[in-house]
Amino acid sequence: MVVFEKAPAKINLSLDVLNKRADGYHDVNMVMTTIDLADRVSLYPLHRDDITVVADNQYVPNDERNLAYKAAALFKRTFHITKGIHIELEKHIPVSAGLGGGSSDAAAVLRGLKRLWQLDHVSNATLAEMGAQIGSDVPFCVYGKTALATGRGEHIAHLPAPPSCWVVLARPDIGVSTRTIFPKLTLNDVPSTYTEGVVTALETHDFYAMCDHMGNDLESVTLTLYPEAQRIKEKMQQYDIPGVMMSGSGPTIFGLVEHYSKAKRAYNGLRGFCHDVRLVRVMG
Ligand code: ATP
């Protein structure tokens, strides 16, 4: 049997950084939601006890550094499985873009191996706990949809989906690693409260209130380091888009738009300005 899993990208609707912890991580409050841009993960049983991984993207490692490999190794260890697995990743989510591609691939491997090896008693909560050992965004990706993530991102509380809307994504041609952004952040004396406002807006299903409250503490670092990302943000704001923000540690900038015609106008305008522009939908 071969198992296929979709691994959707996420965007952040908020990202508040609260404090630095003794273990070096930061506590965050953030709202994330999935969009209809996804990698495709295929899992093929192997006759020998081994893990192999191939991705069709030069920036993704084909060895034990791949988060999909790490997920398979952890799954086999946790459930004492001595069967082998070959993982193929068809990458559609840009790499090091703030869209959670690696984390989503890892989560898809956890879900897919549960199906392939028929471990029906294993809950999503268990998969999410395992995911936290691989990366802070993996627990969210196990569930997908829309959620509030706290702690270093691993504690998940489900939220209502955002009102239906379009997402204009524009990515400058640079990769940003989250690990390089956090240390450069100067923490505010009073922590931001973007998340609180976004959660209330989701609960009241208010698109414009959601856009008004969106915010990301990491923008101050990434947009200063990479002025091309700042320019894309400013360009997108010229299209009168209600919610424009950077996702995760960037550099992808996104805008939320209710109506297709307006989204398409922004998409067309940005294409002359930035070579990777996409128009997708919120799935959350
Ligand atoms: P992060 O916040 O971890 O930087 P991101 O969403 O911005 O995440 P990813 O596309 O997940 O970016 O990739 C981050 C790094 O992880 C890259 O250096 C990449 O080489 C490595 N990586 C490992 N496994 C994968 C994978 N399956 N897909 C994409 N990148 C992967």
pLDDT digits (tens, 9 = 90+) for 199-253: 999 999 999 999 999 999 999 999 999 999 999 999 999 999 999 999 999 999 9
The pLDDT > 70 percentage for the chain reads 100
- What's the first-to-final CA gap in the chain, in angstroms? 30
Count helices and strands in the chain by DSSP H and E runs: 10, 11
So what's the pLDDT on residue 272?
87
184 counts as catalytic = no
Closest ligand 1 atom, residue 89 Cα: 27
Distance 135 CA to ligand 1 centre (A): 10
Q: Choosing from 16, 39, 137, 217, which is the catalytic residue?
A: 137
Q: Is 257 in a helix, a strand, or coil?
A: strand
Residue indicated by tokens 């991705």: 55
- Report all structural domains of the chain as residue ranges with CATH numbers, in order of start: 3-158 (3.30.230.10), 166-281 (3.30.70.890)
- Which amino acid is it at 65? R
What percentage of residues in the chain have a pLDDT greater than 90?
93
Kindly state the average pLDDT of the residues 21-45. Answer: 96
Which pLDDT value is given to residue 143? Answer: 98
CA-derived radius of gyration, the chain: 19
Burial classification of residue 226, based on how many CB atoms lie within 10 Å of its CB (0-12 exposed, 13-18 middle, 19 or more buried): middle
Mean pLDDT of the chain: 96
* pLDDT over 80 at 189, yes or no: no
The β-bridge partners of 167 are 256, 280
CB 34 within 8 A of CB 283: yes
- Per-residue pLDDT, 214: 98
CA of 102 to the centre of ligand 1 (A): 4
Cβ of residue 94 lying under 6 Å from some atom of ligand 1: no
Query: Is position 70 annotated as part of the catalytic site?
Result: no
How far does residue 178's CA lie from ligand 1's centre (Å)? 9
pLDDT given for residue 187 in this prediction: 86
Q: Is 168 a residue whose pLDDT tops 90?
A: yes
Report whether pLDDT(101) > 90.
yes
Q: What pLDDT, on a 0 to 100 scale, did the predictor assign at position 211?
A: 98
| pLDDT computed for residue 284 by the predictor | 82
Q: Report, as an integer, the average pLDDT of 174-202.
A: 91
* Cα(67) to centroid(ligand 1), Å: 8
CB 242 within 8 A of CB 208: yes
Could you say which of 10, 70, 76, 91 is catalytic? 10
For the segment 86-101, the average pLDDT, to the nearest whole number, is 97
Q: Which of 159, 67, 148, 147 is nearest to 108 (CA)?
A: 67
Using a 10 angstrom Cβ sphere, with 0-12 exposed, 13-18 middle and 19 or more buried, the burial of residue 127 is: buried
- DSSP letter at 183? G
Could you read off the pLDDT of 132-164 as tens digits, one per residue? 999 999 999 999 999 999 999 999 999 999 999
Is ligand 1 within 6 A of the CB of residue 95? yes
Q: Hey, how many other C-beta atoms are within 10 angstroms of the C-beta on 71? A: 31
Q: Which pLDDT value is given to residue 190?
A: 79
Which residue, by CA, sits nearest to atom 18 of ligand 1?
A: 96
Pairwise CA distance, residues 228 & 241, whole Å: 19
DSSP state of 53: E
Q: Is the CB of residue 25 less than 8 Å from the CB of residue 38?
A: no
The pTM assigned to this predicted structure is 0.96
Residue 70 clears pLDDT 90, i.e. is over it: yes
